[in-house]
């Protein structure tokens, strides 16, 4: 069974979604460890209540991003993690972490990349006047939201949408799309061919 490591910074809705789907057998995996850079992250309650190993690695205790990521790598490797899932982890990863797990780090982003990368993608879409937006799950590379796309799903932007209302409507699609991508990984059905991710 695939062992997942999940990195969080906040409320942990993506973490809870993955935990629930693993426990129901929808994904042939288990969340083996959770790491947060934020000791006050509300999402820490979910793995703690479920008896999942949970650690806080505050980035404030490390001199550089590379030193922090090296500590994350050490913990993930010690736990034999097969796939690392970023779940609202509000830190850019350095090459130290990305190169330790090539094509084995996934992220979900609330836009149709390459449109609206970075923070507040929903607000960016509304302010730009986009008519359609959506969700992207991608493998993480050394750029900003620039890794190979695994899955994308679309949704109309309503004329009265705000960044917040759009975010609320997108979240269930994010949960489903992320879970589907993780499931495909666990079933060994993803093959990377340059920029393309083929679903076998």
Mean pLDDT, residues 80-92 taken together: 96
Mean pLDDT, residues 131-154 taken together: 97
Residues 6+ apart with CB under 8 A from 31: 4, 5, 6, 15, 18, 19, 22, 47, 50, 52
107-200 matches 1-101 in CATH topology? yes
Q: What is the pLDDT of residue 133?
A: 98
Q: What is the pLDDT of residue 185?
A: 98
Q: Percentage of the chain with pLDDT > 70? A: 100
- How far the first Cα of the chain sits from its last, in Å, is 19
Q: What is the mean pLDDT of the chain?
A: 97
107-127 residues labelled b (16+ CB within 10 A) or e (exposed): bbbbbbbebbeeeebbbbbbe
Q: pLDDT digits over 106-125, tens only?
A: 999 999 999 999 999 999 99
Q: Which of 24, 73, 67, 30 is nearest to 51 (CA)?
A: 30
Mean pLDDT, residues 36-45 taken together: 97
**pLDDT class of 191 with cuts at 50, 70, 90:** very high
Assigned token pair, 127: 């302010």
Q: Which CATH architecture has domain 1-101?
A: 3-Layer(aba) Sandwich (3.40)
**pLDDT class of 72 with cuts at 50, 70, 90:** very high
Q: What is the pLDDT of residue 145?
A: 96
Secondary structure of residue 195 in the 3-state scheme: coil
CB 3 within 8 A of CB 81: yes
**Which superfamily does CATH assign the domain made up of 107-200 to?**
Formyl transferase, N-terminal domain (3.40.50.170)
Q: What is the pLDDT of residue 58?
A: 94
**Could you state, in order of their start, the residue ranges of all structural domains in the chain?**
1-101, 107-200
Assigned token pair, 80: 């034999």
Q: Which of 1, 85, 87 is nearest to 44 (CA)?
A: 87
DSSP 61: G
- Alpha carbons 163 and 143: distance in angstroms, whole number: 24
CB 140 within 8 A of CB 105: yes
**C-alpha 19, offset from chain centre:** 13
Write out the catalytic residue numbers.
Answer: 109
- Alpha carbons 149 and 95: distance in angstroms, whole number: 19
**pLDDT class of 54 with cuts at 50, 70, 90:** very high
């Amino acid at each position: 069974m695939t062992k997942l490591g999940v990195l969080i910074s906040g409320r942990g809705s993506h973490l809870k979604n993955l935990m629930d789907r693993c426990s129901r057998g929808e994904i042939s995996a288990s969340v083996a460890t959770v790491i947060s850079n934020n000791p006050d992250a509300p999402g820490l309650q979910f793995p703690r209540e479920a008896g999942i190993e949970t650690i806080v690695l505050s980035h404030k205790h490390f001199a550089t991003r590379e030193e922090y990521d090296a500590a994350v790598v050490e913990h993930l490797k010690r736990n034999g993690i097969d796939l690392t899932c970023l779940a609202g982890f509000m830190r850019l990863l350095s090459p130290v972490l990305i190169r330790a797990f090539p094509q084995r780090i996934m992220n979900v982003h609330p836009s149709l990349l390459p449109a609206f990368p970075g923070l507040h993608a929903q607000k960016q879409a509304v302010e730009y006047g986009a008519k359609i937006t959506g969700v992207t799950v991608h493998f993480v590379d050394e750029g900003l939201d620039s890794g190979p796309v695994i899955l994308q799903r679309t949704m109309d932007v309503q004329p009265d949408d705000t960044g917040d209302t759009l975010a609320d409507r997108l979240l269930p699609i994010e949960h489903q799309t992320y879970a589907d991508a993780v499931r495909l990984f666990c079933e060994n059905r993803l093959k990377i061919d340059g920029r393309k991710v083929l679903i076998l």
